[in-house]
Structure 1
Amino acid sequence: MLRWIFFIAFVLLVELYAFQAFKTITRAKWIIIPYQIISLAIIVFVIYSFTQFDRTVGQNRQSLITFGLLLLTFLPKLIVTLFLFGEDVYRVFMGIITNFTGDNSAESGSFLPDRRKFVSQIALGAAAIPFLSLLYGMTVGKYNYKVIRQAIFFPDLPDSFDGMTITHISDIHSGSFDNPEKIQYAIDLINEQNSDIVLFTGDIVNTHATEMHPWIDTFKKIHIPKFGKYSVLGNHDYGEYVTWPSAKEKNDNFEAIKDLHRQIDFKLLLNENVKINNGTEEIALLGLENWGHNFKKAGDLAKSTLGLTDSDFKIIMSHDPSHWEYEVKNHKTKYHLTLSGHTHGLQLGIEIPGIFKWSPVQYVYKQWAGLYENLGRYVYVNRGFGFHAYPGRVGIMPEITVLTLKKGKNVA
């Protein structure tokens, strides 16, 4: 109960500071009154939506809108609060100084100096940046697909696989989609790459198998390339983030989710491996169930390696990149390349390709977007195809990865 009291007090404090910023800039009622009405309406809607959240359903369209609206309005107001709180510290300090020096303003009759208009203007200008960015992310960014190409060099790559191309997608989260044309555009982009193999590293839904039903025909249009289409499960595919009426219903949903992969012509690998043959040579593709340092640990590396030898060139599909960090990169057996997703790059960050990338998620995951290497072993973390929780993407765009395997040493 005390936690909720603090939370409500904090929200009211943020709202108060935001209102003061507007009031300092203008006293026009035709601006102030609509602002108050809209702010109150959003607060009421968010509170109502949270009270209506159904643990047996999980994330749905309303929860996506609610969380997006909460970020869109609260984050800019929080920035305004930081500016005005800083000004209040200054005002208190100046009030103390003037009071002790006997220079207290008789004009205002107040211990504190008046708020300065330019500080509120700067605060609102700074708040406009996240507001416009989040708005862009919710309207354009979430479907702003980027094809990212990456060559990776291996001295022991079989000769006939030199130049092999892999299209890698991850984190579809079909339950969040709301624009068939944009999804079809992304599928067309996948097909345009004409890769030798297509690999999908998990989270086909948010929770329920039925979320994918409207999109089966669309994803089935992904062409079957030379070496086929393979997939694995992600943490959301196990249905563990909702309350189920019975264990049977949870299991039935899990079985239906696994069958979705068959329906879109992907071969789902469950702690197993397949050999990709190219004439006289072959490489091993290992598909693991989800293994996350802070999530479900169903992946079994030993089981997925059955029948393989140390000399086999091995590619792992494992949804969570923490699996590479904690089990794969220093394993006694060499696993050449691991493909992961899961982080989404938090769907929020700053990225200048080839120069700079930052996201708050990097403080949780050491490998969170792009290519990483340790002792000649690589992991590539896809930024995700879909979106979850926040219905948008800012700075970290949805990704279709095209990897090219090259024979030789990395020239970097």
Structure 2
Amino acid sequence: MFRWIFFLFFVALIEVYAFQAFRTITKVRWVLVAYQLISLLAILYIFYQFSQFDRRVGQNSKTLLTLGLLLLLFIPKIILTFFMLMEDVFRVFSGTITYFVGDNDNGSFLPDRRKFISQIALVLAAVPFTSLIYGMTKGKYNFRVLKQTLFFPDLPDDFDGFTITQISDVHSGSFDDPEKIQHAIDLINEYKTDMMLFTGDIVNTHATEMHPWITMFNKIERHEYGKYAVLGNHDYGEYIDWPSQKAKDENFEAIKDLYGQIGFDLLLNQHKKIKKGQSEIAIVGVENWGKNFKQAGDLNKASDGLTKEDFKILMSHDPSHWEYEIKNDDKHFQLTLSGHTHGLQFGIEIPGIISWSPVQYVYKQWAGLYENLGRYIYVNRGLGFHAYPGRVGIWPEITVFELKKGEKVA
């Protein structure tokens, strides 16, 4: 009960201050009434949808829309509230000084609000507002192909120049535009790499979410050295209430089968040797292992029979696995490919200048390439989206790797 009281107080505070910002810059009555009415209707819709959330169903189009509306409504208003609250601190301080040591000619303890403060706050609040709208309408399908050339002194000679395409976090249950998904498939096919790897989360929860997209994903062209996949945390159906354990188990088996239906070999704590010429590398696939998520991954089982000298590419959905187990493992996993974080679908990335997202305060490795003692992890930003129905600054990703033998030239 206390949490609800606090939440309602927080919402009321934000609404009051946001309204103060609007009222400072305009006195037109119909504009103010329209603003209040729209805000009220949006809040009522959000509360109603949250009250109707069914844990037996999980995320659907309505919950996606509701969360998007929640962020769209409150993030800009939180910015407004911050500026207006800081101005009130100034007004109280100024009023106190004036009361005791100055002249108070207007008879009011507090000075009037300054219009330019509200104008600045509204301009700044418009940035996340327009960004969130763009993210929900365009950004979620703003696919980017990112290329990485990685150097390894112990890469077998025959694999010098070997190319790999990685996708991750499809979350097919969130898709709503076949034309855009076909565009992503076309981008994947454009690069004609030697191998393709899929690092988990084919659905949000239910195997049926992928059914409308199977034909489209089957258009991904054959890769000479195969297509391999591992499971992500969402593939286990952990986030809803199932009518029975049997139903949950059947869904899990159906999800595992989905990977085969789109042409991927699913590696369940196992590895495959890939032969090219006179050389071999190992593709190692573990089930999901996350510091704060399901820990079904068994690194020892997946790499049984491999040695430190074998060149290994490990697929592990959650990058926290690398941080806590993989990077210091005696078998020396040269390259780990992960996903999971989505870069929170929100942040700022300008190559060579800034790379920031709130998710970096949770995951040390959250997007892109990281290195430790000659061992690398690459965290894919994901192809799809989940929870928030959009992306802002952290765009959906297809990664193309080229493996080179030797040391990287500085």
TM-score, structure 1 normalization: 0.98
Residues 1:151 and 2:149 aligned together: yes
Which residue is 2:305 aligned to? 307
- The CA distance in 2 between the partners of 1:2 and 1:325, in whole Å, is 37
Query: In the TM superposition, what whole-angstrom CA distance separates every residue of 1:346-374 from its partner, at most 9, and x where no partner exists?
Result: 10000012332111111111111111111
Alignment partner for residue 329 of structure 2, among 331, 335, 349? 331
Which residue is 2:43 aligned to? 43
Alignment partner for residue 281 of structure 1, among 269, 279, 282? 279
Amino acid at match of 2:322: W
Which residue is 2:288 aligned to? 290
Which residue is 2:127 aligned to? 129
Which residue is 1:73 aligned to? 73
Coordinate RMSD, CA, aligned: 0.8
- The CA distance in 2 between the partners of 1:408 and 1:290, in whole Å, is 32
SS at match of 2:197: strand
Following superposition, the deviation at residue 411 of structure 1 comes to 1.9
Which residue is 2:57 aligned to? 57
Which residue is 1:405 aligned to? 403
- The CA distance in 2 between the partners of 1:306 and 1:219, in whole Å, is 32
Query: In the TM superposition, what whole-angstrom CA distance separates every residue of 1:12-35 from its partner, at most 9, and x where no partner exists?
Result: 000000011111111102211111
Following superposition, the deviation at residue 279 of structure 1 comes to 2.3
Amino acid at match of 2:307: T
Which residue is 2:164 aligned to? 166
Alignment partner for residue 372 of structure 1, among 364, 370, 373? 370
- The CA distance in 2 between the partners of 1:8 and 1:219, in whole Å, is 45
Amino acid at match of 1:75: I
SS at match of 1:315: strand
The answer (yes or no) to whether the contact 2:144–2:397 under 8 Å persists in 1 is yes
- The CA distance in 2 between the partners of 1:235 and 1:88, in whole Å, is 46
Which residue is 1:356 aligned to? 354
Following superposition, the deviation at residue 312 of structure 1 comes to 1.1
Amino acid at match of 1:310: K
Unaligned runs of 5+ in 2: none
SS at match of 1:214: helix
Which residue is 1:112 aligned to? 110
Which residue is 2:393 aligned to? 395
Which residue is 2:196 aligned to? 198
Residues 265-276 of structure 1 mapped to structure 2, 5 A cutoff: 265-276=263-274
SS at match of 1:59: coil
- The CA distance in 1 between the partners of 2:330 and 2:168, in whole Å, is 27
Query: In the TM superposition, what whole-angstrom CA distance separates every residue of 1:41-80 from its partner, at most 9, and x where no partner exists?
Result: 1000000000000001111100000000110110000000
Following superposition, the deviation at residue 221 of structure 1 comes to 0.7
- The CA distance in 2 between the partners of 1:217 and 1:63, in whole Å, is 26
- The CA distance in 1 between the partners of 2:153 and 2:114, in whole Å, is 65
- The CA distance in 2 between the partners of 1:218 and 1:29, in whole Å, is 52
- The CA distance in 2 between the partners of 1:165 and 1:5, in whole Å, is 56
Query: In the TM superposition, what whole-angstrom CA distance separates every residue of 1:222-252 from its partner, at most 9, and x where no partner exists?
Result: 1111101110000000000111111000000
Residues 1:19 and 2:49 aligned together: no
SS at match of 2:304: coil
Following superposition, the deviation at residue 92 of structure 1 comes to 0.5
Which residue is 1:211 aligned to? 209
- The CA distance in 1 between the partners of 2:282 and 2:92, in whole Å, is 68
Residues 81-100 of structure 1 mapped to structure 2, 5 A cutoff: 81-100=81-100
Alignment partner for residue 382 of structure 2, among 381, 384, 399? 384
Query: In the TM superposition, what whole-angstrom CA distance separates every residue of 1:285-310 from its partner, at most 9, and x where no partner exists?
Result: 00110000111100000100123233
TM-score, structure 2 normalization: 0.99
- The CA distance in 1 between the partners of 2:222 and 2:34, in whole Å, is 55
- The CA distance in 2 between the partners of 1:373 and 1:101, in whole Å, is 61
* Structure 1 stretch displaced more, 277-286 or 158-167: 277-286
- The CA distance in 2 between the partners of 1:355 and 1:51, in whole Å, is 43
Report percent identity of matched pairs.
Answer: 70
Alignment partner for residue 239 of structure 2, among 233, 238, 241? 241
Amino acid at match of 1:126: L
SS at match of 2:364: coil
- The CA distance in 2 between the partners of 1:111 and 1:200, in whole Å, is 64
SS at match of 1:210: helix
- The CA distance in 1 between the partners of 2:240 and 2:144, in whole Å, is 32
Residues 252-271 of structure 1 mapped to structure 2, 5 A cutoff: 252-271=250-269
Number of residue-to-residue matches in the alignment: 410
SS at match of 1:65: helix
- The CA distance in 1 between the partners of 2:130 and 2:237, in whole Å, is 34
Following superposition, the deviation at residue 190 of structure 1 comes to 0.2
Unaligned runs of 5+ in 1: none
Following superposition, the deviation at residue 133 of structure 1 comes to 0.8
